[in-house]
Amino acid sequence: MTSKASLILKGSGFRILQTLVVVIIGFLMMPFLINTLGTDLYGLWIVIGSVVASFYILDLGFSQAVTRYVSKSIHENDPHQANVVINTSLLIYIALGLVVVIVTYLVALFGIESIMDNTEQVSLTQIVLIILGTSLALDFPSKAYPGIVNAYMRFDFVAKTRLCKSVIDAALIYYFLSNGHGIITMAIIMFVTGLISTSIFMWFTHQLFKELSYGKKYINKETLIDMSHFSKWVLIIDISNILRDKMDIWFIAYFLSNSILTTYYVGIRLADYAMQFLVQATGFTSPILTEYYTKKDYLRLQDSISLFIKANLVLSMITLSGFFIVGESFISLWMGPEFSAHEATICLLILASGRLAAYVSSPLQSLLMTTNQHNLSAWIALAETLLSVALCWILVPLHGITGAAAAVATPYVLGRLIILPLLMPKNLSINSASLLPKCAIFTVISLLISYTATILYPQNSALDLIGIITATVMIISSHLVAALVILSKRELELIKALLIRKKAGNH
């Protein structure tokens, strides 16, 4: 097995393992947190987390620019330019980290009290917000280094570090909450473990890139201007994505209540867990496309785009079919018979449809980013966000949490599956004539599989754990067989070769 193929498979394997552990922890911890904290306090934790997550906007889109430019410099064997990008971006991120701290304190001191009806929770909210916001600020300087990991394909180490952090977080939170502590302790735990994991990550990047140096001579104004030009469009995309992914929570908290938000959040978490699995399994698109584009290997670039889209479609339809068949039964077993499983399942199906639409088209987004033509992605993301705001304002008061889910998912489906493919630049040659019919055929087959499954597993009958596992195995196996329809002979041979090499490498 080639070194690159080995690293890709190793990285993908550990990323999937990390995601699996995180999902298992989430499944175990969510009922515990809701029962221990109560739906109202847990809903407050969700809102605070969404506010802190929105501070990622202050990254200003530099992270993807830095990752791209560092990876490109290392692939071109230009350590000096890599150091220029890292040093320049490090200075930027130190300044942005200070901005995050300032914004955190301003929101905590002047923003929280004006929007909260429950004055008893104001001081609690302020403390938790300051702890989590400061933790985010301290993490900002590490954003200068992910390009090193991408260039050397060492996603496995990052996955191991995050896996350990997740396990330690869960163990400590379970222990302290069981002994009467609350969300302030949860925030402190995440602050400490986050600081440790960030330090380990930065140490590892220094071990990978031995030529890494620091100094004023590496601070370059032209590099800053170049990255700023790239990042301005990423910033629009990031702002749009963050607002669109969080605004449903804010609208529900504003129009409805923190308690009903807990029901909605179960659907969000399941959709997000699924997306974590999928992204970790195929989330190495960008470094591969960057390498082929840098080396001007346009044939492999085109083949990779086609293969990634097909793979993403197969995995997406497996996920959606699984949620449709076993989602409600699983939520009932997971959260208990008194939980509003049916309403949560409806939200889950709607939210998953939107997220999976974005996932299927993500190779096109990566291609635009790689070729520095991502202004198209930015404008589409902005339009999606504006539409989501309008739909949330209309649908949440009328239809509650299902309206919120529809308001978020609809723009994704329209923007990513229809608008983006139609507006792709002509210089990015994609064999749509061959790709689209095969994708359409597979989608129809997937719908037929789901319809057949509803006959075998009627939705009005609750499945036990064995039934859920049996149905899931049937859904996965039937979709994998159907995937043969959309994979070309060359793609099948490539997959077969990788599997043979992986097996040989294990012996």
Blockwise average pLDDT, block size 10, the chain, 507 residues: 60 75 87 88 88 82 77 82 86 90 90 62 88 93 83 79 92 95 94 94 87 82 76 74 80 81 88 83 69 72 81 92 91 85 93 93 83 80 91 94 94 91 74 79 91 77 83 91 81 58 44
What phi-psi label fits residue 457: left (phi over 0), alpha (psi between -120 and 50 degrees) or beta?
Answer: beta
Query: How far apart are alpha carbons 58 and 376 in whole angstroms?
Result: 21
| Amino acid 502: pLDDT | 44
pTM more than 0.95: no
> What are the two backbone dihedrals, phi and then psi, of residue 215, each rounded to the nearest 5 degrees?
165, 160
Joined tokens for residue 414: 């329209």
> What are the two backbone dihedrals, phi and then psi, of residue 171, each rounded to the nearest 5 degrees?
-65, -45
120-128: long-range contacts (C-beta < 8 A, 24 or more apart)? 121/44, 124/44, 124/182, 124/183, 124/184, 125/44, 125/48, 127/184, 127/187, 128/45, 128/48, 128/183, 128/184, 128/186, 128/187
| Amino acid 246: pLDDT | 82
Residue type at position 491: E
Joined tokens for residue 340: 């509003």
Q: What is the pLDDT of residues 158-170, one digit of tens each?
A: 888 888 999 999 9
Q: What is the pLDDT of residues 221-275, one digit of tens each?
A: 777 777 777 777 777 777 777 777 788 888 887 788 777 888 898 899 899 888 8
Rg (alpha carbons) of the chain, rounded to whole number: 23
3-state helix, strand, coil in the chain (%, to 5): 85, 0, 15
Smallest CA-to-CA distance from 134 within 98, 168, 109 is with 98
| Amino acid 486: pLDDT | 81
Query: How far apart are alpha carbons 106 and 54 in whole angstroms?
Result: 14
